[in-house]
């Protein structure tokens, strides 16, 4: 989704609205660090340099102290997000933010996330983790013997646990599309998605090797056979542009501690307009009540806000707001162009060193995975000594690299040197 000046200004304006300049500032507590505790940073121009094309490195201390290439695992946050987290706790220390104000800010963040994926705010609820979205969907579809669910071999572990459980307890047919040389082919989906398929579920970008699905083709296939398409977007949102309308995705959920520059415990959940009667609630509480009716009756929100049934981890919601504002300020298309280019250069370098790549050539994500022909424990030690941070999966003998917006061509060179064992 392209960032328009209007949407940026809207974000800045909403963040600047409310008591004092910041939604977090208590009138009793002036800002101590005008650079971070206020929203002034939103208006500061980003000055790119040859070594830091996006002009973001000074905001990411984690990137300055190490060669941090592990954003597919946990993305370090920029200073601005940390400042919002600290300010939230400070308010709790001195002058707790009232619930109504936190709920208002939650709606601001809901609108920010909706913009990021080209949805409407009414289509976004807040859950606590990516897996919660999939559990809600699986429960709502009331899957039974004879129904099938189609996933693929590059999906996350949750799907194998969840649908494996439903296969064992309810007799559903779990169909796993294999990958071929690290890619999952549409023709293989076409072979197994049929009239009894209730759900096709994929990760937009695979955590295993960064493979990116053709979401539009998958949505068309699922819909043509009467199924819904659920997407785990935790490795995609904030890394590459996401457009749920253009692709036809029905349902999507993602944690926010990776590419969205947030923390743990909050996961936006997109439910396409028109699906709320199928994706029914399985839990109830005080906070999704839109109106109290006579006789102890309650009208629950008619929008996806109905999934916010109880108090949320509001400190994380506020930090997510700052993370999303940061992403809007930099622009996801720019982040994609920078990180995907570096990832492709890294892949090419690894291939030229004779490494066996799990990530297919041409992959347009910021993740690169390769197999090790040497002792993974020794590689881990070598990385530690060189200050290189990446995921070494010892049991699978794999290394996964996740390139963040703050990484540089120099980081890629350092990584290539260390992976080869050059000092």
Ligand X SMILES: Cc1ncc(COP(=O)(O)O)c(C=O)c1O
Q: Which residues bind ligand X (CB under 6 A)?
A: 129-131, 156, 158, 203, 207, 232, 234-235, 255, 267
**Nearest to ligand X of 219, 267 (CB atom):** 267
Closest distance to ligand X from the beta carbon of 46 (Å): 28
Half-sphere exposure (Cβ direction) of 262: Cα atoms closer than 13 Å: 28
| Helix or strand (DSSP H, E) at 261 | none
Closest distance to ligand X from the beta carbon of 153 (Å): 13
**Nearest to ligand X of 123, 159 (CB atom):** 159
**Nearest to ligand X of 258, 301 (CB atom):** 258
Maximum alpha-carbon separation in the chain: 75
Closest distance to ligand X from the beta carbon of 209 (Å): 11
**Nearest to ligand X of 134, 336 (CB atom):** 134
Helices (H), 243-374: 244-247, 314-330, 332-352
Per-residue DSSP letter, 267? E
**Nearest to ligand X of 38, 369 (CB atom):** 369
Closest distance to ligand X from the beta carbon of 131 (Å): 3
* Residue number, nearest CB to ligand X: 207
**Nearest to ligand X of 129, 325 (CB atom):** 129
Closest distance to ligand X from the beta carbon of 115 (Å): 22
Closest distance to ligand X from the beta carbon of 243 (Å): 19
**Nearest to ligand X of 259, 318 (CB atom):** 259
Contacts by residues 390-399 (CB-CB < 8 Å, ≥ 24 positions apart) = 390/69, 390/70, 390/415, 391/70, 391/72, 391/73, 397/371, 397/372, 398/358, 398/369, 398/370, 398/371, 398/372, 399/369, 399/370, 399/372
- Give residues with Cβ within 8 angstroms of 50, minimum separation 6: none
CA–CA dist 321, 235 (Å, integer): 18
**Nearest to ligand X of 234, 357 (CB atom):** 234
Contact 112, 324 (CB under 8 A): yes
Contacts by residues 21-29 (CB-CB < 8 Å, ≥ 24 positions apart) = 22/87, 23/101, 23/105, 23/108, 23/318, 23/321, 24/84, 24/87, 24/88, 24/91, 24/97, 24/318, 25/87, 26/91, 26/94, 26/95, 28/94, 28/95, 29/90, 29/91, 29/94, 29/95
Closest distance to ligand X from the beta carbon of 60 (Å): 20
Describe the strand order of the beta sheet including 197-203 as a list of residue ranges.
Answer: 124-127, 267-271, 251-253, 228-232, 197-203, 148-152, 173-177
**Nearest to ligand X of 8, 73 (CB atom):** 73
Closest distance to ligand X from the beta carbon of 187 (Å): 23
CA–CA dist 312, 319 (Å, integer): 13
Closest distance to ligand X from the beta carbon of 172 (Å): 21
């Amino acid at each position: 989704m392209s960032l328009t000046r209007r949407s940026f200004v809207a974000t800045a304006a909403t963040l600047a609205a409310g008591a004092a300049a910041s939604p977090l500032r208590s009138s009793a507590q002036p800002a101590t660090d005008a650079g971070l505790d206020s929203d002034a940073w939103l208006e500061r121009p980003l000055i790119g340099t040859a070594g830091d094309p996006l002009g973001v490195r000074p905001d990411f201390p984690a990137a300055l102290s190490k060669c941090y290439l592990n954003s597919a695992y946990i993305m370090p946050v920029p200073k601005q997000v940390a400042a919002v987290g600290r300010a939230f706790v400070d308010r709790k220390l001195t002058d707790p933010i009232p619930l109504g104000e936190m709920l208002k800010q939650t709606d601001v963040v809901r609108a920010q996330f909706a913009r990021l994926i080209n949805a409407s705010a009414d289509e976004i609820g807040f859950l606590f983790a990516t897996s919660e979205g999939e559990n809600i969907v699986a429960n709502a579809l009331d899957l039974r013997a004879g129904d099938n669910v189609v996933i693929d071999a590059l999906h996350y572990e949750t799907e194998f646990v969840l649908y494996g459980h439903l296969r064992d307890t309810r007799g559903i047919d779990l169909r796993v599309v294999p990958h071929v040389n690290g890619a999952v082919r549409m023709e293989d989906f076409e072979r197994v998605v049929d009239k009894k398929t209730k759900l096709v579920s994929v990760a937009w970008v695979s955590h295993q090797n960064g493979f990116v699905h053709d979401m539009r083709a998958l949505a068309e296939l699922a819909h043509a056979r009467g199924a819904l398409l659920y997407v785990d977007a935790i490795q995609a949102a904030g890394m590459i542009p996401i457009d749920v309308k253009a692709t036809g995705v029905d349902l999507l959920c993602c944690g926010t501690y990776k590419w969205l520059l947030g923390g743990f415990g909050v996961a936006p959940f997109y439910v396409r307009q028109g699906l709320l009667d199928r994706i029914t609630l399985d839990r109830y509480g005080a906070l999704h009540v839109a109106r109290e009716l006579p006789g102890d009756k309650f009208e629950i929100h008619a929008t996806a806000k109905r999934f916010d049934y109880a108090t949320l981890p509001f400190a994380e919601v506020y930090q997510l707001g700052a993370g999303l504002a940061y992403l809007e300020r930099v622009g996801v298309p720019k982040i994609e162009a920078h990180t995907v280019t570096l990832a492709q250069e890294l892949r090419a370098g690894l291939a030229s060193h004779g490494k066996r790549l799990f990530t297919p050539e041409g992959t347009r994500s910021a993740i690169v995975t390769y197999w090790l022909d040497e002792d993974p424990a020794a590689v881990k030690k070598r990385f530690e000594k060189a200050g290189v941070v990446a995921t070494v999966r010892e049991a699978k003998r794999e290394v996964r690299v996740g390139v963040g917006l703050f990484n540089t061509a120099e980081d890629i060179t350092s990584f290539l040197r260390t992976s080869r064992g050059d000092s």
